[in-house]
Chain A
Amino acid sequence: MDKEEFTRQILAMEKSMYHVAKSILRCDEDCADAMQNAILAAYSRRDDLRNRNYFKTWLTRILINECYGILRKKKEVVGLEEYPELPGQAEFTQAFSEVEAENGSEVFLELQRLEEKYRLPFTLHYVEGYSAKEIGKLLQISEGNVKTRLYRARNILRERLKGVQI
């Protein structure tokens, strides 16, 4: 894959990358770091990708690894309620609230309130269209485990969104 095609594919996937990163990291600054790292890592390893049809899955896998790498560096896996306690996160917390208020998206806010173990599979399935089997491979968990998490996430969201069909 040459540079031009790689660039084109990345720009086409930018939103998807952001959604995945956001579902793990929440903080936009961290999302940007993870996306940058993933892009550079993917480009340097692009010869490993034998079938371009799987570019999206392949890049998503790299991105998820980068996101977890950032989490490890922070030595925290954080819940939304814990964000204010993280060093350097106060500004983001405020910015996050402002963005949410501006967007007025109660649904997105509730999605972000889910625990990461539910949030990421949910985002991959309902937003990015991955099957439970594909998510299992991406996250190295069983397909059954993915379905359980999706079921649990649906129940939580249904409760919090007052019976909305999900």
Chain B
Amino acid sequence: MSDINWKREMPDVPEAVHEAVLEALKKLDKAEDRTDSKGKHRRRKTLVVLAAALAAAFGMTAAAAGLLWNERAAEEFHNPALSLQQETIESGVADIPDISVTDKGITVTAVQTLRDENRVYLLFKVSSEEAVIDGNSGFEDWKLYDGEITDIFGNMGAQFLCEGTGELLTEGYYMIDAMNVIKEDWKGEKLSVCLSDFSYYTYESGDSEEGKSVQAAHHIDGVWEMEFPLENVENQTHHYEVGQKMELPEGSILVKSMEISPLSIEVVYDRADADKVFQARYGEEDGSLWELFAVKILDKEGNVMNEGVGGVSSANQGEDKTVLMELSGVIDTEEVGSIELGEKNLVFRP
């Protein structure tokens, strides 16, 4: 039980901030005027206006024209700069495949692929004739494979990006995020996805967290399979031999190398050093050397390009402890100026 009532410790809304809120509320009508017929908010920069104008000339949205990322995918990656979205499309790291497969009344459309040497992110728009989609829905069986090989991906996740559960919809975004854990087997020429056995739940009123409880589970026995060509992806990965020690209170850990890609970073530590520090900190107890997974990437001017990571895969191989991490956003690897590990326990400048 906490000794602190955190809500009580937080400051009240200052008068100036409250006034700003009231001012915004007065402008709601104007905000509505700025909304286009599809309900999308128009707050774009010059580049988007140009891209949209070009796309509009061909009767397409900027994303559909392949000029910018799918908006939802961009949102998931913290809205990368528009110039970076374009660069990643030009290099093949990002693609908007717009491939659709329909089976048993459910249409799955691939709207965005993102890929580097270590990670694959796929975003699908799923639409259905019946309302069957919420945060609990999903494909019970899904495979991601490179040609015939199915075991190169690890630390995989797949889910609907819904706001919650309880209300079934006819449309939603579904994402697959996977790390390429066996790099030597990665051909990288094409990627196949097979989704099957769509499941969803129906609900009844109840006292669950979301206000409703599950009444029954349902399955739609379909197969949705598609293939993405990836042969034109430029390799944006940079490998650095580091050979520097990360200083921690319990000792130092040699950082042998780093590999930075647009969507991921891999750091190879000395396994014996890491084990020693772990032992000194935790003994026989469970714990985590969080410093090994805390990464901040800055550009050449010192601006933060990426802070924090998503999925993490850690492997002990011989004398190495290899940590592969998904970046929370996307970066231009050419612009990396420094990489900080832990709380600046090591600052590496490539």
Contacts and interface: CB of A to CB of B under 8 A. Distances in A.
Interface string B178-194: 00000000000000000
Interface string A24-61: 00001101110111011101110111110110011000
Interface size class of A (residues with CB under 8 A): 35 or more
Contact of A103 (B11, B40, B41, B167): B11
A16 B234 CA distance: 44
A102 B62 CA distance: 51
B24 A39 contact: yes
Contacts, number: 154
A17 B12 CA distance: 11
Contact of B311 (A7, A75, A142): A142
Most chain-A CB neighbours within 10 Å: which of B25, B157, B166, B211?
B25
A108 B8 CA distance: 10
Contact of B290 (A11, A152, A165): A152
A35 B39 contact: no
A5 to B, nearest CB: 12
Contact of A68 (B23, B78, B163): B78
A105 B9 contact: yes
Q: Is the interface of A mostly helix, strand, loop or mixed?
A: helix
15 contacts: A3-B28, A15-B13, A19-B10, A31-B17, A43-B32, A51-B164, A65-B78, A72-B81, A99-B14, A116-B307, A117-B307, A140-B76, A145-B308, A148-B290, A152-B290
Interface of A: 3, 6-7, 10-11, 14-15, 17-19, 22, 28-29, 31-33, 35-37, 39-41, 43-45, 47-51, 53-54, 57-58, 65, 68-69, 72, 75-77, 99, 103, 105, 107-108, 111, 115-117, 123, 126-127, 139-142, 145, 148, 152, 164-166
What 8 pairs between A and B have smallest CB-CB spacing? A32-B20, A54-B163, A44-B35, A36-B24, A39-B24, A40-B31, A77-B304, A126-B6
